[in-house]
Chain A
Amino acid sequence: MPNRHSPDVVIIGAGVVGAACAYYAARSGLTVAVVDRGPVAGGTTGAGEGNLLVSDKEAGPELDLALLSTRLWRELSAALPPETEYEPKGGLVVAPDEPALQALRTFAEGQRKAGVTAAEIPADRLADLEPHLAPGLAGGFHYPQDAQVQPAQAAARLLAASGAALHLGEEVTAILRGPAGAVRGVRTPRRELLAPAVVNAAGTWGGEAARLAGVHLPVLPRRGFVLVTEPLPRVVRHKVYAADYIADVASGSAALQSSAVVEGTPGGPVLIGATRERVGFDRSLSTEALRRLAAQATALFPVLAGVQVLRAYHGFRPYLPDHLPAIGPDPRVPGLHHACGHEGAGIGLAPATGALVAAALTGAEPPLDPAPFRPERDFGPADAPTQEQQS
């Protein structure tokens, strides 16, 4: 079907990353179409918690991306409606013992050099920040830059603000290529959307979308469970988690790992999440995952033991073997851009990703060095077929 008003760019995926790409592309003057086989935020974004964390990231390219995002989220909070629930509440990382505290000090030192604000909180001052915290902790670090949004709202409001044409309930079944191999647009069961650029923001399904263009991108699912309690008065004020969480994030292990991040929400419920395990797309409930989350949360906040958990949910993080997202143009297919593989940080990293993609689409100066996120990079020995046999 010929399109009289072909967009400048088609974005595959109406999750928070696709939404941020649409927002920044539109702000750069491009006309944008977004296609999703489901509703807005129907993928991993709808299962995410909305932590915008710098605290859990060691100095390096991901932290740089997170710091840029932190600034952009603050700007966005003024531009987007209040339903986005942006809250710069700050994070508190606690250490159960002296060795953990020492490790945390070294970690924070590296982060400070990259621009993170981190203040050590001695054991006897922890209660000032979190009155209900368990006694006996060795100390902790306060990260005032950690913030939060409501992920589904964030995605929906970014999309609405972008003015992009939305095609929901339409699966992209082909990425169209011209005679020289450059992308020409996408095909869905309902239409052909022609455009000189296509952004793969298909999240955990980004590997399949890449395959539609004939390129390899080893995105894998990493499952996470979250517990949601009954609505409570403000019991937990920051994002609170134990220091061993940082080790889990950086780990590539397939086994179940967890260190609960505990936080209150404006709606009242306390969120406790999330576990990390690579079990393919297994949707069954793991009572072991729930047990660990609950045990860790009650260890941090004993008062929560008597609180009712109303629901539990899970999602599948888009995971790349080297723990960095794929962002930017794919030199193997002219006109194809990637914006996927953000694992457990896609909500936090969405604005910086969108800004990078918009810069690449318009040829503008990128806001930071995009090289570490090159989609065609070598993913190393972990990118082997056997690693995908986890389900």
Chain B
Amino acid sequence: MTTSPSDPAAGAGPAADLAVVGAGPAGLAAAVTAAALGLTVTLLDAGARPGGQYYRHPDPALGATRPQALHHDWKAFTGREAELRAYERAGRVRHLPNRQVWSVTGSGADWTVHSRTDDEAGQPVRARAVLFATGAYERQLPFPGWTLPGVVGAGGAQAMLKSGLVLPGTGVPPARAKPRARGRVVVAGSGPLLLAVAASLAAAGARVPAVVEAAGYGPYARHTGTLLRNPAKLAEGARYGGALLRHRVRPLLRHAVVEAHGTDRVEAVTVARLDHDWRPLPGTGRRIPCDALAVGHGLVPELSLATALGCATRTAADGTAALVLTPGLRTSVPGVWAAGETGGIGGAQLALTEGEIAAHSIAGRAVPAALVRRRARLRAFADAMGAAHRPGGGWTGWLPEETAVCRCEEVPAGRIREAVEELGATDARTVKLLTRAGMGWCQGRVCGPAVAALAGGGPAADRRPLACPVRLGELAELPVD
């Protein structure tokens, strides 16, 4: 049985050996491995069930019987979930679902994890070590029309299919959709996820008029060795590719959606050719009618909690900020580890592997050589992919002055350019101070990469001392220090 979030006893008790934030592939693997190695673990996650962004559970109300249909390695998940339940029953793991962690404070071997549920504060969790397995969110690069209804994140579309089983552009589960109601979904952006999304959409009955990929596959050629050492990954790619061919979908390389059209919702997109630096080439635009657009440019590690503790970051091959980690997955702050996407975008297999490595490292055990090799191989693959799909600086060429970059605060590109060119902002933080871009509900998770690109600096590591909103009354009632 899971602990009810409102159970007053949920936060009491002695400090755990390890607090894991995030129950996606990385956090889940870390928690069960650490428990197997004899540690007591508290696992917190914002979601109701473990699995994170990858292993998603269909809403029980929809009566889906085969969630595994959209997952290739559902068993890797169900096995670990069963282990988790067993360790919970044995009192070795405490799983706290529906907990948003807003801050982790402490040092050395004395950490406090502050969290909340939707309605109330959660008891602070004490632990001797912390592991951040907080995953990632989607990288959005704005274009005119990107805020129209019917424009969804590519990963978001995939997540909708997995959990709600709803097809974007139709609002109905595919099983219930009449053939005519099945929408036309353009898939666009950059990264390996696009093919997966397009394949899932096509398999679920959507028509995919185009898969629009901003990068070329040319850069892959430079990494043939790495690619060949990752046969499973290649097979995955081939499977998506094959599925797409069956549905007559061919990726349009070095192209981007430079505008979405429509009044109440998206009705068409304009697709243009890009130069090597992602600058749209004039006169190459053409219109593709559609009912929805699923667009994403890869993922960005979610680092708010880690950077608030001062964990050092680096610029990863894909241009995002990721944590600096040792081979044992320690961050630069003693007592704090990280695994999965937080150390650089790399996918679910890598996240599972890193979760196991981190658990060994935290338990003070030698890391099995097989895990080390596997991690090296998957990381190399991820870096090759990341480099190939890293946005070229020219993409801002499709961003006119009046297009909103920060949708929470409605800040258009022109205001950001003014702050940079005329007011002395040389980084994303100063742009934010001068324009309010990134000050709204999402705290810059949507506009951050775009603002950083317009500011001309490198990627700005997340700087959010509060990882999520907290009610003032909850802060007022924190235990007195």
Contact = CB atoms under 8 A, between A and B. Distances in A.
B291 to A, nearest CB: 33
A267 B436 contact: yes
Contacts of B436: 267
Contacts of A337: none
Of B475, B476, B478, the most chain A CB neighbours within 10 A belong to B475
Given A14-B424, A153-B434, A159-B424, A297 B466 contact: no
B473 A298 contact: yes
Interface string A290-331: 110111011000001111111111100000000000000000
B320 interface: no
A46 interface: yes
5 contacts: A39-B427, A40-B423, A42-B429, A285-B103, A294-B474
A166 B470 CA distance: 40
Contact of B434 (A156, A291, A305, A307): A156
A230 interface: yes
Interface of A: 14, 38-42, 46, 151-153, 156-157, 159-160, 166, 168-169, 227-231, 267, 269, 272, 283-288, 290-291, 293-295, 297-298, 304-314
B190 to A, nearest CB: 29
B414 to A, nearest CB: 14
B7 interface: no
Given A267-B436, A294-B476, A311 B443 contact: yes
A306 B471 CA distance: 6
Nearest to B422: A160
A261 to B, nearest CB: 15
Contacts of B429: 39, 42, 46
Contacts of A308: 469-472
Contact of B430 (A41, A291, A293, A307): A41
A305 B476 CA distance: 8
B441 A230 contact: yes
Question: Main SS of the interface on chain A?
Answer: mixed
Given A39-B427, A284-B310, A46 B433 contact: yes
A228 to B, nearest CB: 8
B423 A160 contact: yes
A297 B472 contact: yes
Given A310-B466, A311-B466, A168 B424 contact: yes
Interface in B314-358: none
Contact of B473 (A39, A160, A290, A294): A294
Contacts of A310: 439-441, 443, 466, 469
Given A288-B481, A291-B476, A40 B430 contact: yes
B480 interface: yes
Contacts of A287: 103, 105, 112, 114, 475, 478, 481
Contacts of B480: 288, 291
Interface residues of B, number: 40
Contact of B470 (A283, A304, A309): A309
B384 to A, nearest CB: 33
A348 to B, nearest CB: 18
Of B419, B423, B472, B480, the most chain A CB neighbours within 10 A belong to B472
Interface in B411-431: 419, 422-427, 429-430
B438 to A, nearest CB: 10
Contacts of A42: 427, 429-430
Contacts of B112: 287
Nearest to B469: A308
Interface of B: 103, 105, 107, 112, 114, 308-310, 409, 419, 422-427, 429-430, 433-434, 436, 439-441, 443, 464-466, 469-478, 480-481
Nearest to B431: A39
A288 B422 CA distance: 40
Nearest to A282: B310
Contacts of B425: 39-40, 156
Given A230-B469, A287-B114, A294 B464 contact: no
B465 A152 contact: no
B473 A305 contact: yes
Question: Main SS of the interface on chain B?
Answer: loop
A311 B105 CA distance: 16
A215 B53 CA distance: 57
Contact of A309 (B310, B427, B434, B469): B469
B466 A309 contact: yes
Nearest to A299: B476
Of B103, B439, B476, the most chain A CB neighbours within 10 A belong to B476
Contacts of B476: 291, 294-295, 297-298, 305
Contacts of A160: 422-424
A298 B478 CA distance: 13
Contacts of A168: 424, 426
B434 A304 contact: no
A357 to B, nearest CB: 20
Contact of A227 (B419, B475, B477, B478): B475
Nearest to A291: B478
B426 A307 contact: no
A171 B111 CA distance: 37
A307 B471 contact: yes
Contact of B472 (A41, A46, A231, A305): A305
Of B309, B425, B436, the most chain A CB neighbours within 10 A belong to B425
A310 B477 CA distance: 17
B465 A312 contact: yes
Nearest to A166: B424
Given A152-B433, A310-B441, 17 more contacts: A39-B427, A40-B430, A153-B434, A156-B423, A231-B440, A284-B309, A284-B310, A287-B112, A290-B478, A294-B472, A294-B473, A297-B476, A308-B470, A309-B466, A310-B439, A311-B464, A312-B466
B469 A46 contact: no
Nearest to B426: A39
B471 A309 contact: yes
Nearest to A285: B465
A306 B466 contact: no
A121 B422 CA distance: 45
A251 B465 CA distance: 27
B105 A152 contact: no
B431 to A, nearest CB: 9
